[in-house]
């Protein structure tokens, strides 16, 4: 006999329907997966082999019971359970979808579980978890089946609290956690897929999509109801604050509000084809949402029915719009104005952008409406900036710096003339004439030229000089005088719809633009959630749960209080003068950093750039200063080294290399590849005759350079901790000689890996023992040690220098001051690059286009003159300025930010040859 169920899968009482053919086929196919035969006294029947789907099931450890209703098997693992009782398990009360306790995790309310385990419902004996037969999953929670060891009764233990949507309390009820997870899904802005992915990753039992949708509808209707109540509450508060007291009587002028619209799909600029949009109305006094409305041109259930050629079943249809996406905004604005008018709350002033005809349609449809339209300040400024940038390619003088100056002057002028139409008209004329050196319309209060005509310079224009281009002046007059002066009344009464923009961002987090929620009631729930978060704060989640008869949740309240405090603190700081300055400073830094990087990198992303031949040369970054490991310094041994060379140039060869520390010594003579100069021979007493090396005319053992350097690196590697190499005047000479030798044999990287860094003892002694007439090593030995010695023997020099740095002078141990003078092993390499860079600036230095100090700083920052030319090719003088004034990782300017220096360099690099 076929099982009789209703359309929702439950056993039907009325309107019975037969099992569909598709379900019968599924049952038939499952019954044919037969690999086992079960025999008992009364019958022989076959059951499916569960090892096909569950290969981890142990052999001979399960009892398989067949459920004729669900056509499914029941698997009870008895391998690890020892029931020492005289009764048999009663499988008639065990459902088919029971899972073992180790199958996955569930959300369990411990207090609810503990209370139910106190006693058996039949014999009042305490129940134990280790006697459980399994769990029937119901979403994130479930029902635990525990058998009593005394009477054998199987108790059904709920893992959490439940509730009922109707007064008829029948069945297991709805688990609270399943409803709350639907709330969190809406609140967090995720869908069924993301939610179940999160649960599955934690091995928590997933919730069925159909069940989740039912719970979403259950809690979503309450969210909508709470949002509507919140809007009415703040609408009343806004209306009360709008009532003004006159001498005779109370007179209600109406409220001031702002409006804006967001769409659930981004427009491309050419096409706006979003299927839904949301408009909001926010009060100026309260800053809260007073009303919102939605338009949607799609409904999933209707679409499915239409594809099947059927009449859609009764449902809450989300489709309420058939026009274009652009026409949604004016229609929603008109509806919100009409709704408030019907509630006897008129709007006297409506702020918003000028991108729609909503205000005009409202006036046309409601002629008795006494409402003024004010423009949004941010949109007005943004439109002006866009128009200025559209003029930039046409005028060389209109640089980014000039555009920023014009925009800043416009914003200042608007702030100073709020409510003053005549002041706006005069300010628009003055703002253009002022930057071209005409001050007939300027005011003494702000124009520096009128205060001091002899020394005045513009603070925000290139070189502080007036602009000269008459063509640019003509185009600016067309923009500011021909278009903005006729709208001076509107500019004198600008408002802000920033609160609406903030709400739109919140809506976008709960209904992301890359997800399609418009075809169901889900979008309405998410928008209402955003409204509640704006009006009531994050505590709205607990309030929604309370409204639905659920517990508010201690942790939910704790989290909401923390987020509310964070939001209030951020809001308070953002309104202060210091907070606004900080935002502008950070924005300026980000803009400057991004401009510098784009100039260095060249064009990397542009339409069809891959088809063309793009500029692929990249300007190098600033050389970062290598930081020395401070912990390693504290245990690093000091190793004094010295070189004797064939001459005084940095291209000389090493003829003796010696190193000395407390416990070890290294000394070797090296056969040079170039002759030793007479001056070097007189100083070092080292000569080369044929294949022999002599010191003081006595033959000495020597090594070839590669072998000597290899032995030195081996000597360094034998230290238990990396040493610090100390030498006298090495920063200017010895380091570079050693670098050239090691680089020639490709050994410098290996050498650097065995040392922490270098210290020039000359700098140390100048700091510790200031005021000496000479800081040569021989003079220091005579002054501090009161000795004389035969200098310019590398080994003897290292021994005496080690004694010097470990002696005490003026109460200080000199070696204790060494750590502050450590420089990186890469220092010689960087200097080599910097010298090559500096040579490229020779012509600019000779022409006095740049000082040697500035050129040296540019070379040190890894720039060549060709890099400066490349920055100009990419973005003109703005590119040169962005490159030279780029901030380093230490927060310093890379080369210079001086406008005069940059302009002089620009003129030199763009001169006609």
Cα–Cα distance for residue pair 754/748, rounded to 1 Å: 10
Residue 272: predicted pLDDT: 80
| CB-based contacts of 719, cutoff 8 Å, min separation 6 | 637, 639, 664, 754
Model pLDDT, residue 21: 47
SS3 382: helix
| Nearest residue to 660 (alpha-carbon basis) of 709, 708, 721, 712 | 712
Q: CA 703, CA 723: separation in Å to the nearest integer?
A: 24
| Cβ neighbours for 172, distance < 8 A, ≥ 6 positions apart | 138, 143, 158, 162
| Residue 860 Cα distances to 293, 624, 830, 833, 867, angstroms | 61, 10, 8, 8, 13
Neighbours of 719 (CB within 10 A): 16
Question: Phi/psi of residue 329, each to 5°?
Answer: -60, -55
* C-beta neighbour count of 215 within 10 angstroms: 22
> 186 near 540, Cβ under 8 Å?
no
Give backbone dihedrals phi and psi of 910, rounded to 5 degrees, phi first: -110, 10
**588-592: long-range contacts, CB 8 A cutoff, minimum separation 24:** 589/887, 592/882, 592/885, 592/886, 592/887
* 324 strand-pairing partners: none
* Residue partners of 461: CB distance under 8 A and separation at least 6: 401, 402, 405, 435, 467
Cα dihedral 385/390/393/395 (nearest 10):
-70
HSE value, Cβ hemisphere, 13 Å, CA-based, for 249: 3
Whether 428 and 476 have beta carbons less than 8 Å apart is answered as no
Q: Which of 348, 279, 280, 334 is nearest to 535 (CA)?
A: 280
Give the pLDDT means over successive 10-residue stretches in the chain (913 positions): 47 45 45 42 40 41 38 37 46 78 93 93 90 93 92 91 88 92 95 94 94 94 96 93 57 82 78 88 93 93 91 89 90 93 90 86 88 88 90 87 89 88 89 90 86 86 87 90 86 89 93 90 95 95 94 94 93 87 83 79 70 71 68 84 91 93 92 91 90 90 94 94 92 92 93 92 89 90 83 86 80 72 88 89 91 91 90 87 84 86 90 62
Q: Structure pTM?
A: 0.71
């Amino acid at each position: 006999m076929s099982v009789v169920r209703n359309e929702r899968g439950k056993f039907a009482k009325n309107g019975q329907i037969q099992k569909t053919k598709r379900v019968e086929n599924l049952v038939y196919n499952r019954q044919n997966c037969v690999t086992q035969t079960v025999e008992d006294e009364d019958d022989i029947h076959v059951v499916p082999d569960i090892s096909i789907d569950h290969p981890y099931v142990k052999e001979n450890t399960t009892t398989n019971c067949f459920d004729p209703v669900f056509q499914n098997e029941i698997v009870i693992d008895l391998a690890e359970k020892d029931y020492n009782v005289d009764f048999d398990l009663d499988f008639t009360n065990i459902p088919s979808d029971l899972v073992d306790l180790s199958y996955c995790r569930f959300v369990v309310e411990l207090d609810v579980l503990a209370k139910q385990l106190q006693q058996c419902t039949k014999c009042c004996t305490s129940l134990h978890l280790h006697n459980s037969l399994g769990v029937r999953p119901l979403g994130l929670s479930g029902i635990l089946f525990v058998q009593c060891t005394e009477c054998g009764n199987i108790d059904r233990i709920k893992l959490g609290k439940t509730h009922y949507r109707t007064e008829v309390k029948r069945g297991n009820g709805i688990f609270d956690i399943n409803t709350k997870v639907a709330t969190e899904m809406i609140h967090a802005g995720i869908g069924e897929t993301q939610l179940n992915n999160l649960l599955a990753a934690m091995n928590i039992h997933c919730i069925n999509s159909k069940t989740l949708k039912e719970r979403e509808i259950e809690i979503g209707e309450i969210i909508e109801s709470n949002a509507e109540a919140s809007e009415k509450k703040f609408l009343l508060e806004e209306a009360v604050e709008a009532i003004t007291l006159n001498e005779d009587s109370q007179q209600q002028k109406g409220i001031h509000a702002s409006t804006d619209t967001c769409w659930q799909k981004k427009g491309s600029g050419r096409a706006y084809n979003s299927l839904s949009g949301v408009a909001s109305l926010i009060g100026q006094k309260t800053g809260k949402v007073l009303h919102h409305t939605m338009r949607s041109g799609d409904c999933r259930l209707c679409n499915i029915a239409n594809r099947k050629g059927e009449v859609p079943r009764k449902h809450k249809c989300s489709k309420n719009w058939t026009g274009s996406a652009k026409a949604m905004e004016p229609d929603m604005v008109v509806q919100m104005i009409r709704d408030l008018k019907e509630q006897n709350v008129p709007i006297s002033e409506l702020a918003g952008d000028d991108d729609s005809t909503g205000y005009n349609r409202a006036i046309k449809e409601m002629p008795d409406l006494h409402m003024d339209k004010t423009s949004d300040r941010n949109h007005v400024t943004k439109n002006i900036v866009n128009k200025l940038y559209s003029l930039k390619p046409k005028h060389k003088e209109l640089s980014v710096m000039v555009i920023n100056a014009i925009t800043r002057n416009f914003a200042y002028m608007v702030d100073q003339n709020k409510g003053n139409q005549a002041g706006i008209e005069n300010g628009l004329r003055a703002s253009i004439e002022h930057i071209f050196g005409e001050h007939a319309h300027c005011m003494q209060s702000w124009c520096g030229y009128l205060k001091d005509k002899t020394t005045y310079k513009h603070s925000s224009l290139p070189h502080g000089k007036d602009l000269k281009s008459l063509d640019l002046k003509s185009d600016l007059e067309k923009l500011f005088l021909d278009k903005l002066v006729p709208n001076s009344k509107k500019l004198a009464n600008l408002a802000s719809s920033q609160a609406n923009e903030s709400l739109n961002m919140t809506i976008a987090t709960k209904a992301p633009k890359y997800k399609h929620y418009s075809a169901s009631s889900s979008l309405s729930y998410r928008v209402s959630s955003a409204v509640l978060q704006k009006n009531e704060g994050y505590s709205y989640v607990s309030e929604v749960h309370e409204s639905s008869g659920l517990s508010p949740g201690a942790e939910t309240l704790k989290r909401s209080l923390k987020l509310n405090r964070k939001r209030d603190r951020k809001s308070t700081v953002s309104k202060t003068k210091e907070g606004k300055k900080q935002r502008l400073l950070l924005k300026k830094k980000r803009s400057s950093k991004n401009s510098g990087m784009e100039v260095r990198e060249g064009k990397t992303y542009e339409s069809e750039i891959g088809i063309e031949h793009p500029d692929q040369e990249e300007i190098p970054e600033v050389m970062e200063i290598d930081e020395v490991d401070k912990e390693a310094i504290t245990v690093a041994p000091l190793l004094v080294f010295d070189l004797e060379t064939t001459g005084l140039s940095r291209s000389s060869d090493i003829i003796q290399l010696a190193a000395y520390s407390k416990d070890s010594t290294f000394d070797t003579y090296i056969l040079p590849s170039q002759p030793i100069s007479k001056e070097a021979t007189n100083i070092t007493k080292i000569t080369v005759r044929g294949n022999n090396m002599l010191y003081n005319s006595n033959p000495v053992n020597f090594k070839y350079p590669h072998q000597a350097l290899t032995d030195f690196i081996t000597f360094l590697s034998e230290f238990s901790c990396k040493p610090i190499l100390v030498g006298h005047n090495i920063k200017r000479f010895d380091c570079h000689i050693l670098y050239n030798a090691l680089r020639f044999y490709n050994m410098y990287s290996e050498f650097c890996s065995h040392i922490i860094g270098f210290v020039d003892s000359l700098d140390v002694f100048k700091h510790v023992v200031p005021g000496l007439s000479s800081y040569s090593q021989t003079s220091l030995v005579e002054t501090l040690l009161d000795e004389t010695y035969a200098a310019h023997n590398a080994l003897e020099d290292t021994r005496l220098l080690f004694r010097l740095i470990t002696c005490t002078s003026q109460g200080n141990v000199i070696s204790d001051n060494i750590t502050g003078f450590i420089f990186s092993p890469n220092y010689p390499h960087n200097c080599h690059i910097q010298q090559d860079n500096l040579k490229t600036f020779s012509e600019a230095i000779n022409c006095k286009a740049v000082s040697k100090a500035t050129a040296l700083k540019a070379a040190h920052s890894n720039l060549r003159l060709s890099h400066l030319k490349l920055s100009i090719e990419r973005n003109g003088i703005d590119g040169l300025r962005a490159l030279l004034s780029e901030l380093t990782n230490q927060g310093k300017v890379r080369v210079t930010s001086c406008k005069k220096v940059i302009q002089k360099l620009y003129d030199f690099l763009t001169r006609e040859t």
